[in-house]
Amino acid sequence: MSSQATLDAPVVIAGAGPVGLVLALELSHQGVRSILVERQPTTTTFPKMDVTNARSMELLARLGLADLVRAAGVPSQHSFDVIFASSLAGREFGRWRLPSVDEMRAEIAGCTDGSAPAEPWQRAMQADVEAVLMRRCLEDDMVDVQRPWRVTGVTQDADVVETTIVHANTGERRVLRSAYAVGCDGARSQVRASLGIEQEGAEEVATFALVHFRSRDRERLQAHGQFWHLFFATGGIVISQDEDEVWTVHSQVPPETQPGSVDPVAVVRNVCGVPVEIDEMLEHTIWRPNVLVADRYRAGRVFLAGDACHQVIPTGGYGMNTGLADAVDLGWKLAAVIDGWGGEALLDSYEAERRPVALRNRDWSFRHLSVHLQMPERADVALIDDDSDAGARHRAELGEFVAANNGENTSVGIELGYVYARSPVVASTAEDEPPELDPLVYRPTTFPGARAPHVPLADGGSILSCFSRGFTLVDHGAPDPARLLDAAAALGVPMTHVALGPDAASASVYERRLVLVRPDGHVAWRGDDAPDDCDALVAHVTGRGERVATASATAKESAA
């Protein structure tokens, strides 16, 4: 088993949801082949996530995918407004006003201080996002899509991973040999089970009925105007999936409720408070969210990503979006190691960087859900639509509660402000203190481990477009960038020099004259001058410090 001479591919990926698809495309972007194994013959038909956040859109833009996702999503003129009302026939008592993609683009264009993302959010069903990503993978010669094949087990030794797969229709069994394997196979991950990795958190924290349907009854459904989400005082929700005819209703139901025991038409009627004409029933089920994070993200040559290692409640949109960042983080690191310029510590850094983000996002998703779970307790259904002064006061009280708890869709600090401060492959000085995270506010910084801020370049594009393959040295007038560039070249590390000059508008945003940025757009190091030991810095940020130090010592001994 130990020989790598007969590998089927450098990487095998189990699961072709959005995370597995993006991981395959990230590896391809970095020049690495993969086999993508999926048990279903087609992409999902369930809506699942309905927003791709700004950070995810930035990461997708690196891969040339942002425009494709936008084309599959809601047209750019529609707002992200969230409405709170008693029912479709009742009173509105609160609204979170959230801008459209067009409005966000205008805000971004007018922002030069680094506080804005490079890309707006995008409303799009996960089902549509998956379909777009799968088409791209099927067109990519570097991605070998195998479906419908089910992963039944993963074994490994010091050199090779063997992934056993079984065809869903014929029962044919195959064993795929690879240098690495990644489980992107969801909440019930077979890869995680094969590794014996446990999870911490809580299971089935609530029970919901989901009804996904087509309806042209917009007069009733949009009785309160255009919306993205419409929450009712009774606890139900309607989601406008495409601003046309596709909708999803969620309703909390008793914990013992089983799939097939609920009438989906009745669920829609009860949630909306009025009968809605349903043209086509697309999907309906019972679902139970978990808030779980895996104890480990890695076991030897096998890794976990996405729902296989973290499960969150959909409130806040942290599920798929957290997973996409996992895929990019792990993808470039695997490619660096496979290409020979990344070391073992680079792979270790994946868990060190991504697991704390998952823990925080898990907890904040539960916090957002608690706002909605409180609504039925606070609302007096007999009073909320009353024309009396008491009814008006009650609606005002509910409106104040809604306005005071609007972080679900405005926690830009959660989306953009996380910092890999404790990563073993970022370099900071002793006097550097990591910035304190404000979940609701993003404050641009180039502190090592942070997302490098977006600033516009002279050609109108974003500086983030420079961060894609290899490292990038952003230079605002340092006297000696060549020493660091030469050290990278000598160690075989790809590094691009972006010279902007000391008078560039981005100089104050980037805080230091030299900022070294990784392929995923996170800062690896910063300083006003190149460090004394450039070799050591390059070795550190590529995860092979010990190996390079040993080689340097050997070279010095030989010279002596």
CATH code at position 41: 3.50.50.60
Helix (H) / strand (E) containing 514: strand 514-517
State which H helix or E strand residue 251 sits in.
Answer: strand 246-252
- Residue 374 counted as domain residue: no
Q: Is residue 3 part of a domain?
A: no
Tell me: do 140 and 59 sit in the same domain.
yes
Do 92 and 113 lie in one domain? The reply is yes
Return d(Cα 467, Cα 400) in angstroms, integer: 43
Same-domain status, 395 and 264: yes
Q: Which of 172, 128, 127 is nearest to 146 (CA)?
A: 172
Which stretch of DSSP H or E encloses residue 95?
strand 92-96
Please count the structural domains in the chain: 3
* CA dist., res. 205 & res. 524, Å (int): 38
Shared-domain flag, residues 424 and 530: yes
Range of the domain at 438: 417-559
In a domain, 422, yes or no: yes
Q: How many CB atoms lie within 10 A of CB 290?
A: 18
Q: Are residues 328 and 389 in the same domain?
A: no
Q: What is the CATH number of the domain that holds 221?
A: 3.30.9.10
45 assigned to some structural domain: yes
Strand partners for 438:
441
Residue 2 lies in a domain: no
145, amino acid identity:
V
Nearest to 234 by CA among 206, 253, 215, 262: 253
Counting as low any pLDDT under 70, the low residues of the chain are 1-5, 430-431, 546-560
The predicted pLDDT at position 341 comes to: 97
Q: Do 334 and 434 share a domain, yes or no?
A: no
Three-state secondary structure string covering 275-297: CCCCCEEEEEEEECCCEEEECCC
CA angle 69, 281, 207 (to 5 degrees): 85
Quick one: 335 and 390 in the same domain?
A: no
Cα 542 to chain centroid, rounded: 23
Residues 259 and 351 in one domain: no
Structure tokens at 431: 């006097």
Q: Is residue 375 part of a domain?
A: no
Q: Is the dihedral of CA 321, 324, 326, 328 positive or negative?
A: negative
For residue 148, cis peptide bond before it (omega within 30 degrees of 0): yes
Both 468 and 540 in one domain: the answer is yes
Q: Per-residue pLDDT tens for 360-392?
A: 999 999 889 889 989 999 999 999 999 999 999
Q: Is 371 within a domain?
A: no
CB contact at 8 A, 273 and 264: no
Q: Same domain for 384 and 302?
A: no
Same-domain status, 429 and 394: no
Q: How far apart are alpha carbons 329 and 445 in whole angstroms?
A: 19
CATH classification of the domain holding 524 = 3.40.30.120
How far is the C-alpha of 303 from the C-alpha of 308, rounded, in Å?
A: 10
Please indicate, yes or no, if residue 4 is contained in any of the structural domains: no
Same domain assignment for residues 477 and 337: no
